[in-house]
Amino acid sequence: MSLIKLALPPGLRRVGTIYEAAGRWYDSNLVRWHERGSMQPIGGWTQRTTSAMTGKARAIMTWVDNSSLRWIMVGTHSNLYAFSQTAETPSDITPALFTTGDADATSGAGYGVGPYGESTYGTPRVDNATVQPASMWTMDTFGQVPYMMMAEDSYLYKWDLNVSNVATRVTGAPQGSAVVVTPERFIFVLGSDGDNRKVRWADQESDSDWTAGATDQAGDQVIETQGKLMCGKRIRGGTLIWTDVDVHFATYIAQPFVYRFDRVGENCGICSRGAAVVVGNRAMWMGLKHFYSFDGTVQEVPCEVHDAVFGDFNTTQRSKVTAFHNAEFSEGWWFYPGAAATEIDRAVAYNYQEDTWALHSFSRLAAAANGAFNNPIMADSSGDLWDHETGYSYSSATPYAKSGPIELGDGDNIMRARRLIADETTAGDVNVNFITRDWPNDSETTYGPYSPANPTSVRFSARQVRLHVVGDQAVSWRWGTPRLDVIPGSKR
C-alpha cells in the first residue's frame, strides 16, 4: 500500500496550460483559502431589498451619520437611491435635472465594425476603436454628507439625508467626471471645466468657494499626463488619483500651491472608475492587462489566474468593472464581464495576506465593503440588493474547486487507486470526484461522486488524476490534505 498525499497549495494557478497547474488548484467557484490555507466556502447571501431599483447599479456607498444612523446609497446608470438601515425599500433621490447615462459601453470603428464576414478571420485591425463607456457614479462623504458625480451628467451633487428630498446640485461647483474628498477635507472634482486632465478643488471645509484667492485655499491643477482622469481614493499620507494610463499622488503642501501632484506610476492605468480598493496605506486596482498595487511605489501584482481573467475579459465593457475590499478575509474583489458577456458575470478575489487567488461565477454589478454594516452589500443585474457573507445559500450555485493534474506514479506504470482517506472537518460535508487520464491530451474519465468516509472505497486506474471537490452541505466546511491509497498497475 502506498498513500499519496494530495497536498495542494492554497489558491488557484491558471497561467499557461492545464498541465502547468500540476499539483495546484486550477478552477473554483464560491470557495476561498483562508486560515493557513484550508479551503472553505465563501459566505452566502440573502436578499435585502423588497423592490427592485431602476437601471444598472454601478456604485454603492455606505456610511454612518452624526446620529449613528447607517445609510446605503446606490447609483445606477439612470437613478440615484438611498435608504437607511431600517428601510427595505430604496428611496429614489435622483436629482431633478439629472442626465441619464449609458447602461452599456458602445464601440465604433476597429474590430467588429462593418458587415459580418467582411475581410478574413484573424486579420489584424488597427487599434482605432472609440469606446463610449458605460456610465458610473463616483461617491464620497464630507463628514456625514454624501457627494456624487457621474461623468456623462457632469454635475456635482449632494444630499441632505432626508429621503423625502432629492439630491441637489452643488452651487458654484465646476462640471467634471469624478469626485473624491481628500484626507485634509478638500473636495476634488476631477476632469473639471471640460479638461480631462484638470483637478479643481474648493476651499478647505467648503463646497461653495471654488475661486482661488489670497485668503482661501481653493485652486486647480492640470495634471501632466497622457491619459484622462478617472477616479481618486484617500490613502495614508495623501490622495491617489488614477488616469487610464498612469497614477498620481496628491500631497497637501498648504499655501500658496495647496497641493503637489506627483506621477508615481506609468503604464499602469485603471480600467474603470470603480476598479480600485484601498487597504490602509495600500491601494490595489485592475488595469487593462494586469493588476497593480501602490504602497509608496507602484508594482504589478503577480497574478496566478492572469490567463483566466485577462484572457477572457470583454475589454469593450471594461468601464463596468467594480471592486470592493472584503476586510474580514483580507481580500480585494473585482467584478468583470467575461469575453462572451456584455454584463458582469464573474469575479476574481485576491487574498493579499496569503497571496492567493480565487475565481467566482456569479453576477454582482457593484458592492460596498462591510464597515458601516456587518456584511458586504452587493447589487445584482435585476436591481436588487443582497447581504453577503451570511449563511451558506447561493441561489442555485454550488461551491467547488478543481485541481490540475496530480501524478500518481513515475515512468510507464499506471497506478490503481483503492481508497481515499479524506481530510475534512465533518465527514460528508463535501463530495469528491476523480477526473483521470493517462496522457496530457487523452480524453478524461470521471469517477464519483464519492461521499467521503474514513476510508472511502474508490476504484480507478490512471497515471494522473484531477481532484474535484464539491460542497454538499450548506455549512462552513473545510477541506485539507487527503491521501489516496494506490498500488502499481499495468504498463502501457
pLDDT computed for residue 342 by the predictor: 96
Q: For the residues 471-488, what does the mean pLDDT come to?
A: 91
Q: Which residues, in sequence order, are CB contacts of 179 under 8 Å at separation 6+?
A: 138, 139, 140, 147, 148, 149, 156, 187, 188, 189, 190
Instruction: Report the C-alpha gap between 115 and 443 in whole angstroms.
Output: 39
Instruction: Report the C-alpha gap between 319 and 299 in whole angstroms.
Output: 22
With cell 478543481, the residue in question is 402
Q: For the residues 73-79, what does the mean pLDDT come to?
A: 98
Tens of pLDDT, residue by residue over 146-167, are 999 999 999 999 999 999 999 9
Handedness of CA 381, 386, 389, 393 (dihedral sign): negative
Instruction: Report the C-alpha gap between 399 and 360 in whole angstroms.
Output: 9
Residue 472 has pLDDT above 80, yes or no: yes
pLDDT computed for residue 130 by the predictor: 84
Write the DSSP symbol of residue 483: E
Extract the C-alpha cell encoding 453.
Answer: 468516509
Q: Are 394 and 45 in contact (CB under 8 A)?
A: yes
Residues belonging to the chain: 492
Strand partners, 198: 222
Instruction: Report the C-alpha gap between 11 and 357 in whole angstroms.
Output: 5
Q: For the residues 49-53, what does the mean pLDDT come to?
A: 94
Q: Which residues, in sequence order, are CB contacts of 36 under 8 Å at separation 6+?
A: none
Extract the C-alpha cell encoding 126.
Answer: 488597427
Give 468's pLDDT tier (boundaries 50, 70, 90).
very high
Q: Are 458 and 433 in contact (CB under 8 A)?
A: no
Instruction: Report the C-alpha gap between 444 and 433 in whole angstroms.
Output: 12
Residue 470 has pLDDT above 80, yes or no: yes
Instruction: Report the C-alpha gap between 157 and 61 in whole angstroms.
Output: 15
Give 127's pLDDT tier (boundaries 50, 70, 90).
low
CA distances, 193 to each of 167, 189, 221, 320 (Å) = 21, 9, 11, 25
- Report the SS3 class of residue 350: strand
Tens of pLDDT, residue by residue over 79-123, are 999 999 989 899 999 999 999 999 999 987 555 544 445 455 555
How are beta strands 31-34 and 38-41 bridged, if at all?
Answer: antiparallel
Instruction: Report the C-alpha gap between 167 and 360 in whole angstroms.
Output: 35
Instruction: Report the C-alpha gap between 182 and 233 in whole angstroms.
Output: 8
Q: First vs last Cα of the chain: how many Å apart?
A: 21
Burial class (CB in 10 A: 0-12, 13-18, 19+), 467: buried
- CATH tag, 2-43+399-491: 2.60.120
pLDDT computed for residue 277 by the predictor: 97
Q: For the residues 196-223, what does the mean pLDDT come to?
A: 95
Residue 23 has pLDDT above 90, yes or no: yes
Q: For the residues 193-202, what does the mean pLDDT come to?
A: 97
Q: Which residues, in sequence order, are CB contacts of 411 under 8 Å at separation 6+?
A: none
pLDDT computed for residue 365 by the predictor: 98
230-260 in b/e form (b: 16+ CB < 10 A) is bbbbbbeebbbbbbbbbbbbbebeeeeebbe
Instruction: Report the C-alpha gap between 41 and 429 in whole angstroms.
Output: 11
pLDDT computed for residue 299 by the predictor: 97
Residue 489 has pLDDT above 80, yes or no: no
Mean pLDDT is lowest, of 32-36, 62-66, 174-178, 234-238, for 32-36
Extract the C-alpha cell encoding 451.
Answer: 461521499
pLDDT computed for residue 114 by the predictor: 45
**Every domain range in the chain assigned CATH 2.120.10.30:** 55-108+129-304
Mean pLDDT of the chain: 92
pLDDT computed for residue 11 by the predictor: 96
Residue 439 has pLDDT above 80, yes or no: no
Residue 422's CB is within 10 A of a number of other CB atoms, namely: 23
**Every domain range in the chain assigned CATH 2.60.120:** 2-43+399-491
Fold designation for 55-108+129-304: Neuraminidase (2.120.10)
Extract the C-alpha cell encoding 458.
Answer: 474508490
Write the DSSP symbol of residue 306: H
With cell 458654484, the residue in question is 172
Q: For the residues 453-461, what does the mean pLDDT come to?
A: 89
Q: Which residues, in sequence order, are CB contacts of 238 under 8 Å at separation 6+?
A: 182, 183, 249, 250, 251, 252
Where is pLDDT greater, at 230 or 416?
Answer: 230
What angle (nearest 5°) sits at the alpha carbon of residue 113, between those of residues 110 and 115? Answer: 145
Q: For the residues 187-197, what does the mean pLDDT come to?
A: 98
Range among 68-82, 413-427, 460-474 with highest mean pLDDT value: 68-82
